[in-house]
Amino acid sequence: MHDRWVHLHPAAIALTACAAALVGTNGGTFSGEVKPVRSLNYLIRTGLFNYVNLPVPVEIQEHEEAGRFIPITQIRSNDDLKEAIANLVPLLHAPAEVADPIKYVFSEMVRIVLEHSSSPVGAFVAAQYYKESNRIAIGIADAGIGILGHMERFHPVTTHKDAIALALQPGISGTTSRIGGTDFNAGAGLFFTKSIAAFSKNMFLLYSGDAAYRLMVGAGGDASLNPDPNRDKHKFPTGLPNWRGTLIGIDINVQQGAAFADLLDQIRGAYRLDVKHRKDYARKIRFSA
């Protein structure tokens, strides 16, 4: 680690806070040194040291321009989530067209954690707005059973990597072996979130166990979507430090021209790639003013 220059994505901040909360819950102790890096003031303001029980330097020499950010928020219940969403947009000062995909991702990902992770410390979320690149970075971490622990109940997966790949496929739910999910879970949340990241040509990371899937869509890259995540441009390393729960990191470009509704149209198109439908049912829906 550099003595002064340290940059942490909100996913790393959320994961650190989550791990620290787990240590605290289990009666563990902390040891180490907090160095006076330029971003320390920002890290303090995120609330990281409310969970990482280490002394921080009293005098902070330089302040980094942190921009707008959402402090680390621990979410354990439906009410916590509603409160966090209510606080989300005002903190970001974002117009509706920018806020919609952010609210969407935030809600869907945290709900997945609350419903499926069995995390003893709930979900930890953090977000940051980067003014120069006009993007929002969001991190969501839990210390639960992990994706393999969730998926293996109904699907024949034995590795973290296979479980992650399966969980990213639309229509595959960890609550049933049935394609298309149940009446309460569609198995589409992670696919939608990955798609939102892909269409804004930004980062999507899903880390659980010893494996991490990272969508690789750069500014000039191919934003096409595939039901099979292995067909997207990606990196999928294994043998990483084992994290018992799950970490999600996503960046969303807030100056993209496409409206959220257009994005949803494209996601629906990608969904169809995986299911050879007999009819275009969507055309039969009765909408009225």
Out of 64, 185, 210, 214, name the contact with other proteins by CB under 8 A. Answer: 185
286 is an interface residue for other proteins by CB under 8 A: yes
- Site size toward other proteins, by CB under 8 A: 62
Q: Does 25 bind other proteins (CB under 8 A)?
A: no
Write down the least CB distance from residue 140 to other proteins, Å: 15
As given in the structure block, the two tokens for residue 143 are 């210390």
Binding mask 126-165 for other proteins (x = CB under 8 A): ---------------------------xxxxx--------
Residue with tokens 């995120």: 46
d(CA 228, CA 49): 39
Q: Residue 200: which residues within 8 A CB-CB, separation 6 or more?
A: 101, 135, 251, 252, 253, 256
Q: 62-81: which residues touch other proteins (CB under 8 A)?
A: 78
Nearest Cα residue to 229 out of 139, 135, 165, 163: 165
Binding residue for other proteins (CB under 8 A) from 1, 31, 132, 279? 279
Cα–Cα separations (whole angstroms), residue 265 to 183, 245, 252, 270: 23, 32, 18, 9
Work out the end-to-end distance of the chain between its first and last CA atoms, rounded to an integer number of angstroms.
Answer: 58
Give min distance, CB of 2 to other proteins, in A.
Answer: 40
User: Per rule CB under 8 A, is residue 227 in the interface with other proteins?
Assistant: yes
Q: What is the CA radius of gyration of the chain?
A: 19
171: contact with other proteins by CB under 8 A: yes
Q: How far is the CB of 16 from other proteins (least distance, A)?
A: 27
Distance between CA atoms of residues 128 and 256, nearest Å: 17
Q: Does 166 bind other proteins (CB under 8 A)?
A: yes
Site for other proteins in 258-277 (CB under 8 A): 259-261, 264-265, 267-268, 271-272, 274-277
Instruction: Tell which one of 66, 133, 180, 236 touches other proteins (CB under 8 A).
Output: 180
DSSP string, 15-51: HHHHHHHHHHHTT----------TTHHHHHHTTGGGT
Q: Do residues 168 and 191 touch, judged by C-beta distance below 8 A?
A: yes
Nearest residue (CB) to other proteins, 64 versus 100: 100
From candidates 82, 93, 131, 235, binder to other proteins by CB under 8 A: 82
Q: Contact positions toward other proteins, by CB under 8 A? A: 78, 82, 85, 96, 100, 103-104, 107-108, 111, 115, 153-157, 166, 169-172, 175-186, 188-189, 192, 227-228, 259-261, 264-265, 267-268, 271-272, 274-282, 284-289
